[in-house]
Amino acid sequence: MSILLNPSDLDERIHKGMAMSPAEFVLWTLTRICDPDPSPCGLDFSNLCVVMKSLPSTAHTYVRLIADSPDDACFCLLVGVVENWIRDMAERFPKTSAGVPNAQLDFERAKEMKMRAFIADFMKEYNSTGLPPADISSITFGRLGAFLHLALFMAWSDVICDNKKPPIDFPVDCLVGKYALPVIYYVAGWTLYSASKASMVAVDNRPLFFRFAARHTIDECVAKRMNLPTSLVERRKRRASVYCTREYFDFICVIESIYLANLTLKMMLAYNDGDIVAKIKLGILSHNDTRDRFSCLLGSDNEDDNQQLLVYITERYANMRGTYFVKHLKGNSGDQIQKLASCQATRTKVAHAVVYAKTTVESDGDTFIHDNTPECQALWETATECIFELADTSDGSNNE
């Protein structure tokens, strides 16, 4: 698929995506920097704003002065920076998803070159601006300019990637397909094995974990009589290979169904500022129905104990789930998703990929491999090897 839009059309679309003019955006961003809670601009931006604490308090005051002076030279320089990013992205925007990496590289190079020019122009305003003299050294003034440039880019990236995040979906029905069942059963048993050791848990709390693991561990014969999908556990025959009860397996299938319902292209685009697997995990821990279902497995009304165990199991499962999420992404057909998978950690790449995906997602939809197909079978076989490797590494069972 190709995009038949010229740079001026793309420039207009990016402007509309910001929902405000560059000057309004700069003012909005500077206000967020001065705000004690800058979270509306995204997690990366919030973390970056902590850097302000390393600068003299006068630097913080100076940012407020710039925000209150839209005609000042420093404010105008920041507006020009945003306008350059929009123009550069529109000019370098790829016509197909295959061009995303090169477009990202070209944009990044241009951004770095213009950042040096911006810092030089910003330094010229040191004590020559229309604002009261900055009561900071020239070196600190330069650091402030670099900080504002980076903070502005993070906020801009977050805005054009659309920060409207849909809620985590909790499906009613089980979504685990037939090829996935043995893998999920193996992972369920592995989480119980981990709980039975509880090596990272405080000594006083370990009996709780030991009792829970014992309560939901069964022997091989019982598991087979219950027609549980034990093939991978039988295949491994290792210390960490545990046969779990039907009730516990059903609960883990609920957890896996939540991941399957949310590991979609739509959610990847919406949660481009962080780890989608972690977002799902946090959603599970705060979901009342899921917590109540887990409490039934313990047979206890002690909410502290229930939550402590749920956090542990969910953490272990999320760590394991993340290993084959990457395989799930890279195993899908379509360059669009592969590019998104490869660029999750780089904000500029995400910006290009998200804008590209927004242009094509209406026709492509969620193009992940459908369940119960040969492609899906091959994908889960690959995931199996990742899980075995992580299980061995985590539990030190390589030589057993």
Mean pLDDT of 103-116: 79
Mean pLDDT of 129-137: 60
Amino acid identity at 191: T
Looking at residue 244, its pLDDT comes to 95
Looking at residue 221, its pLDDT comes to 94
Give the model confidence (pLDDT) of 171-181 as tens digits. Answer: 999 988 888 89
Looking at residue 145, its pLDDT comes to 87
The CA distance from 361 to 357, in Å, is 5
- What burial letters (b/e) apply to 229-261, b meaning 16+ CB within 10 Å? bbebbeebebebbbbbbeebbebbbbbbbbbbb
Task: Return the domain boundaries, the chain.
Answer: 7-160, 181-332+368-395
Report the sign of the C-alpha dihedral through residues 255, 257, 260, 261, in that order. negative
3 state DSSP class of 243: strand
> Can you tell me which residue has the tokens 């998978």?
341
The pair of structure tokens assigned to 204 is: 């006083």
Give the model confidence (pLDDT) of 284-320 as tens digits. Answer: 988 999 999 999 998 777 888 888 899 999 988 887 7
The CA distance from 252 to 320, in Å, is 12
Mean pLDDT of 34-63: 67
